[in-house]
């Protein structure tokens, strides 16, 4: 599973960080950083929740 963020759409509102702080972090510069782009399968449910709850539909999963 690979996390893909479309940074043209992302608005750094950190909803994803709230759901999965180990995978997503919005830093002081107000940019989103993906901390682990290829998390294990055990993270899939949480990443799917991030996909759904990202208000900008900026996150997708490959694989």
Partner 1 sequence: MRPALPEAGHLHRGLILSRDSVHIVGASLAGIRAAEALRREGFSGTIALIGDEPHRPYDRPPLSKQVLSGAWEPDRIGLTKPEKFDEIELDLRLSTRATAFDLASRSLTTSGPDGERTENVDGLLIATGARCRSLPGTDGMSGVHILRGLDDALALRADFDRGPKRVVVVGAGFIGAEVAATARGREIPVTMVEALPTPLGRVLGEQMGSVMADVHREHGVDLRTGVGVDSVNGGDRVESVTLSDGSLIEADVVVIGIGVIPNTEWLDGSGLEIDNGIVCDATMLAAPGVTAAGDVARWPNHRFDEVMRVEHWDNAIEQGVHAAKRLLVDDSAAQPFTPVPWFWSDQYDRKIQLAGRVRADDDLEIVEGSLEEHRFAALYGREGRLVGVLGFNRPRHVMQYKMMIQDGVSFADAVSAEI
Shortest separation between residue 55's beta carbon and partner 1, angstroms: 6
Residue 52 binding partner 1, by CB under 8 A: yes
Binders in 11-40 for partner 1, by CB under 8 A: 11-15, 17-18, 26-28, 30
Which residue lies nearer to ligand SF4 by CB, 20 or 40? 20
**Helices and strands in the chain: count of H runs, count of E runs:** 2, 4
What is the enclosing helix (H) or strand (E) of 18? helix 15-19
Answer yes or no: are the C-beta atoms of 17 and 31 closer than 8 Å.
no
Helical segments of the chain, H only = 15-19, 44-53
Residues that bind partner 1 (CB under 8 A): 11-15, 17-18, 26-28, 30, 45, 48, 52-53, 55, 57
């Amino acid at each position: 599973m690979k996390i893909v963020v479309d940074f043209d759409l992302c608005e750094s509102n950190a909803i994803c960080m709230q759901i999965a702080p180990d995978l997503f972090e919005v830093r002081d510069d107000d940019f989103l950083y993906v901390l682990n782009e290829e998390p294990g399968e055990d993270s899939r449910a949480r990443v799917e929740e991030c996909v759904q709850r990202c208000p900008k539909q900026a996150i997708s999963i490959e694989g």
